[in-house]
Structure 1
Amino acid sequence: MSSKVTQVIKTTQQEFLLSKGKPLTTRLWKDRWLYLFLLPGLVYFIVYKYLPMWGVLMSFQNYQPHLGIWNSQWVGFKHFERFFSEPEFWMLFRNTLYIAFLDLMIFFPITIIIALLLNEVRKEMFKRFVQTMVYVPHFLSWVVVVGISYILLTTEGGIINELISWLGGDKIPFLMSQDWFRPLIIIQMIWKDAGWGTIIFLAALAGVDSQLYEAARIDGANRWRLLWHITLPSIRSVIVILLILRLGNFLDLGFEQIFLMLNAMNREVGEVFDTYVYQVGIRQGQFSYSAAVGLFKSIVGFILVIGANSLAKKFGEEGIY
């Protein structure tokens, strides 16, 4: 088998060297079907990721829709100065940072743990059933998820509060409490997306050489030893890459979930950058100011990605570039 693989690699290398001398149009036409498959993804990133970057210019303008980007007045860093001097800035920064840390320290490890547990299941039928059950919530909208939370937790007929009352306790205002807001956000994230987040880890686990496990069992290793010395080191690079990419969205908590969970009683601990952008940008029409807030988030994410990637390389990992 190894000789066949070596022969395939050599043949591929020879074809690549021969194709280097051919015109670009010839090489493109030869692999036209591959580029055709690439086209939808390329169009998606151009339209939805790169073209909207022109909107960053609004951060440095007093943007007026009827004048457009090129004719609006340039104001430099005025909106950034206003944002950093706003009394709400530190509240928003604290709340966003707190929930982001909970997401990174609780949600991200749980996806790895679920993947490791699923990988240990030997009965294929049961494994597929569990996978289906943990994947399904991902396809529910946040409106549905928050609606389920209201049905379960409201003090007016909520199932959990009715159970607490039946057991002789006092009803707990989960949805109005500042202490319960952040735990509920993380619990919802875990229930909805933790299963979906295991897909890449399960794919990485499927690529681990089974001969390593067989050799370790011969040496007397139990399941914990196999996990610690073979499984985790084998997927370490995948964990590092996904962690770096997740840091890029560190301050991007999403709008729908938190907006739907916010109310007058928990706003002090629940208002984050995403909901603030909606309030000042969409509802109040301060487009340039909200664009400045969004750019600030992007810059922080960019710095975190660069820093985490450099740190990963220092520890011997590949990183993302």
Structure 2
Amino acid sequence: MTETRSSTHRPDRRRSVRTLLDQTDDALRRGTRPGAVVWPSGFRLLDSTLDGGLRSGELVLLGGSEGSGKTTLAVQMVRNAVAAGRSAVIFSFEHEAGTVVQRLLGLEAAYAAEASDQPVSQAGNVHAFRAVFEAEDPHRQGLAEALGKLPYGRAALTMMDAYAERLHIHEANNQTTIEEIASVVAMVSEEGGEPPMVLVDYLQKVPRPGVQEDETTRVTIVTESLKDLAMEMECPVVAISAADRDSLGSGRRMRTHDLRGSSALAYEADVVLILSSKDNIVSREHLVYDLGAIKIYRRWSVITVEKNRHGSGSAELELQKDFEHGRFHPTMRIVSERLIEERVFTT
């Protein structure tokens, strides 16, 4: 009897093709978008590869080895979305909210310097902004005055003010379950009048308290739940994924199957991006006759688009690191050098 009542009250997600066609026709006549909503990542070449950017209902997996810049890239993509007028929420299991804000200030200072046609090196970096947050102000003049002492500090604050109310940071911990994530996303969506872009940093840390299960099972359920959340809330969910250290030996590239925990990571995700430091994956032939080249390659990271359900085929894109300012340089380019190993994951 209980099962009968449960199935009776289950929401009916079935729609006929006639209904879908009529809804599309109605949306077009009202001048609204009938298909998925697209959140540009702010990186033109990546957006072109993804056929416009990150889509509502998509689960985007961002993997990479430790220190490769996964959080830096993901936060920059979120920043680009909110700077373009959207809303977003970051679930940070790795960093305090203040740390994320300091990175954003360093990033904005770099953008401000570029907008003034000045060298980025002249802008205040993340360490300088962190020092402001960690120092006492004997004059009690407030944040704007304190940041005004840093090159482009006041400009950075002004740029952040433009989207500050639309960007939310949730300091996650071992009690931040998938249910709490869904609740916060729903709240932000209701407050802002539109679904937000969601960043989970990182997926393997989402807990399931009180449940006895191995990591593979937990990661499978969390991954499936994040995909369900993306579809239900009609928003893109970007989940950073840790690598299985035991599977990464010298001279190997990280791949989707190297991500820690579950094959569900590959099958549930709509987009899989793998971030690598270029010096670790460029073919040795580029180093044999020019040992100094490795110093140049260390300044660059490579984004491998391993899975791209709604866009074009595979791609190898590179972008220059600017970790001092908490970002990558915004202009990407296609990798021209040969990289070790061929792509092994296909859609």
Same fold (TM over 0.5): no
Please give the TM-score of this superposition, normalised by the length of structure 2.
Answer: 0.24
Q: Is the helix fraction higher in 1 or 2?
A: 1
Please give the TM-score of this superposition, normalised by the length of structure 1.
Answer: 0.25
Q: Is the strand fraction higher in 1 or 2?
A: 2
Considering only CA atoms, is the larger Rg found in Structure 1 or Structure 2? 1
